[in-house]
Amino acid sequence: MAEIIRPSTQLPALRTPLHVLTSDGVDLIGEIAAPLGQSRGAILTLHPLPTAGGMMDSHVFKKAANRLPAMAGISVVRFNTRGTTSHDGSSTGTFDNGVAEGLDVQAMIDYCCDILKLDNLWIVGWSFGTDLALRHAKDPRHKGLILLSPPLRTTTNDELMYWNSDTRPITALVPEHDDYLKPDQAQERFAIVAKIKIIPVQDAKHLWLGEPAVHRVLSEINTIVTGDSEPLPLEF
């Protein structure tokens, strides 16, 4: 009998805690949720601003880990950046407003590629995590960037310009009612990188609250990673 997908739904996956040491000695904690069957790709998630409550369990990423391995064959790697705490524990180190966090991003990409041997790896940033992706996720082994609610809070124009010399795709999902960068503003700010695909999402807000918003985000991620054109089902 089919199960209706609800906010609390947790579908089958192989869930494994992880510890990753950065080049400057910070111990990052996290989890990988992997499909029980064939893998079709993977995402490394970069969470929202920890000083505003962002962490690896921020609801969109938690729901991604609960659903995408079973529904789409996508492995979901979540972790806490330095100085960030979630239900699973705390990463050591101190919040550095996106600067030293670049070492966290690189350590996690190394772990995904060298240790987990994940194929078809994509970087998914949300809010603060989009700045981390744009500024630091330049390792050639991932396939591209997926940006959720990008505020462009700390990314400079020079850092944006880098992506004109990088052929990998970037897709930005921008909520209609975003608190920081609405779709028309995003078109202006991202104009210096013409290849960026901006998808306005009607009725959505920065935090993607509500199941329709989460379903849209996870469906877009699935389409980008696997090529599936249909939205994810509402039942499993």
The candidate with the shortest Cα–Cα distance to 41, out of 68, 63, 23, 16, is: 68
Q: Tell me whether residue 3 is in a domain.
A: no
Domain of 195: which CATH number? Answer: 3.40.50.1820
Confidence (pLDDT) at 52: 97
Answer whether residue 165 is part of any domain. yes
Scan for tokens 């992880």, then name that residue: 18
Asked whether residue 220 is assigned to any structural domain, the reply reads yes
Quote the mean pLDDT of the chain: 97
Would you state the pLDDT for residue 3?
86
- Mean pLDDT over residues 123-133, rounded? 98
Query: What mean pLDDT do residues 126-143 have?
Result: 98
Q: What is the CA radius of gyration of the chain?
A: 16
The Cα 22–Cα 55 span in angstroms is 18
Percentage of the chain surpassing pLDDT 90?
A: 98
Residues 8-38 have pLDDT tens digits of 999 999 999 999 999 999 999 999 999 999 9
Strand-strand pairing, 170-175 and 197-201? parallel
81-116 confidence digits (pLDDT tens): 999 999 999 999 999 999 999 999 999 999 999 999
Backbone angles phi, psi at 58, to 5 degrees: -50, 140
How far apart CA 35 and CA 131 sit, in angstroms, is 28
Q: What is the pLDDT of residue 121?
A: 98
Q: How many domains does the chain have?
A: 1
Report if residue 7 sits inside a domain: no
**Which residues constitute the domain of residue 91?**
14-226
In a domain, 209, yes or no: yes
Output the pLDDT for position 56: 98
How far apart CA 143 and CA 166 sit, in angstroms, is: 11
User: 3 burial class (0-12, 13-18, 19+ CB within 10 angstroms)?
Assistant: exposed
Q: How confident is the model at residue 226 (pLDDT cuts 50, 70, 90)?
A: very high
pLDDT level of residue 219 (50, 70, 90 thresholds) = very high
In angstroms, what CA-CA distances link 131 with 85, 101, 109, 189, 210?
20, 10, 16, 13, 24
> Residue 152: what pLDDT?
97
Residue count of the chain, please give it.
236
